[in-house]
Amino acid sequence: MTTAIPAPAVHRSPVPRLQLVGDRPPGAFATHGGRVAYLVYLAADVDPVALMEAHGIRPEIRSLDPRTLPAGEPEPAPHPDPVRVDDAIRLDRVRRLAEVDGRELDLTYLEFELLAHGSAEVVTGPAGRRGRSTTEERPVRSFEVGRTVVRRDVHRSGRVWSEQALRVLDDSDAALVTACAPGAEVRWPALYARARDDRDRSARTDAFDEMATGAWELAAAVWQETDLLLWKPPAAWFSVNAFYIPDGDGDGRRLWNWYVNFERPTVRTAAGFDTFDLTVDLVIAPDLSGWEWKDEDEYAHVRRLGIVSDAEHEAVDAARDQILAMLAERSGVFADAERWAAWRWEPTWPTPYLGPAAVRVASEDG
């Protein structure tokens, strides 16, 4: 990966600047060898190298020498007068200043450029200050309580490994909380479904071998036996699940166990959210009195197959420590363990289903 930081406007550099794709007519990219650069925005605490490695991309990092680069196109002359974007926002392209209701904004170079081209958004922060947006101030999306969302495991190739229909119970900055009950629609890889039906762990190994090839078939199924409550913090490399089973006394249910699934952080979609199960799990007693690791052998196998990268392995190790600390401190979802242990699926709720064919085409074409 090569990164070039633009110089301030008062200086002139021979280094080519980034060009807006949307402002160019077809065929306008034949200059400079036909190369197109993609600008990706990441949170300040995200390591781009680790992120690319986690998705099977080998980053190339090298220094830029302006003497070896072709000359860029001449920059347009700055606009001589301030430009008013709307009734509240005023931009001065010459001095590179942005004001909202007469108050100057603290913007980076790129944020000013985005605002100048109409692609940025000015938001109000917790203290009423209007200015730079952060992930905490502007969530990507909030799902309505009661709607159905689809959780998908998406392989780094882009193919969908599984999908599961869930009901939204809560969606906040802390976590997206969803649930399902027996009968909810799911789709698994055919070999993985056979392993579940036959309780054959060797078929699970075959399924992972198939995953390593990047080609598998999905089979339709339904969720069975347990009620599921799923607590997924937005940036965590895990989700906390609670499984409920019949209590043997009438139609009642009881908490069977807590189950921590180590997986990639959430990527929200129009239909729900994507993640990817990294195989290793932590099983916790319903009263939080004990715990044990699960599927360490399968985790070692997928590591050998290259399904879990070194960067993902490091993230899982950090997540292991994080979840054990939460358990010891009774923080996060465990702070409300008694309340969640008493949770029950409402019989009047509709059974979650995967929805129209558009959702399924994404998995088949992935």
Q: What's the pLDDT tens digit per position in 83-106?
A: 554 455 777 766 667 776 677 776
Flag whether pLDDT at 125 surpasses 60. no
The stretch 176-199 carries a mean pLDDT of: 85
Beta strand pairing status for 291-294 and 277-284? antiparallel
Q: Which pLDDT value is given to residue 80? A: 46
The stretch 146-150 carries a mean pLDDT of: 94
For the chain, what are the domain ranges?
1-75, 77-138, 148-365
Q: Global pTM?
A: 0.60
Most confident of 72-76, 186-190, 348-352: 348-352
The stretch 122-145 carries a mean pLDDT of: 47
Segment holding 51, helix H or strand E: helix 48-54
pLDDT tens-digit map of 200-254: 666 777 888 888 888 888 889 999 889 999 999 989 999 999 999 988 766 688 9
Residue that wins the pLDDT comparison between 272 and 26: 272
Give the pLDDT band (50/70/90) at residue 20: very low
Q: Which pLDDT value is given to residue 362? A: 39
Give the pLDDT band (50/70/90) at residue 190: confident
DSSP secondary structure, 285-354, as one string = -TTSS-EEEE-HHHHHHHHHHTSS-HHHHHHHHHHHHHHHHHHHHT-GGGGGHHHHHT----TTSPPP--
Q: Which pLDDT value is given to residue 304? A: 92
Q: Which pLDDT value is given to residue 270? A: 86
Percent of residues, the chain, with pLDDT higher than 90: 42
Residue that wins the pLDDT comparison between 270 and 120: 270
Q: Which pLDDT value is given to residue 101? A: 64
Classify domain 148-365 at the CATH class level: mainly beta
Flag whether pLDDT at 268 surpasses 50. yes
Q: Which pLDDT value is given to residue 15? A: 41
- Rounded CA-CA distance 172/347 in Å is 25
- Rounded CA-CA distance 163/150 in Å is 6
Flag whether pLDDT at 133 surpasses 70. no
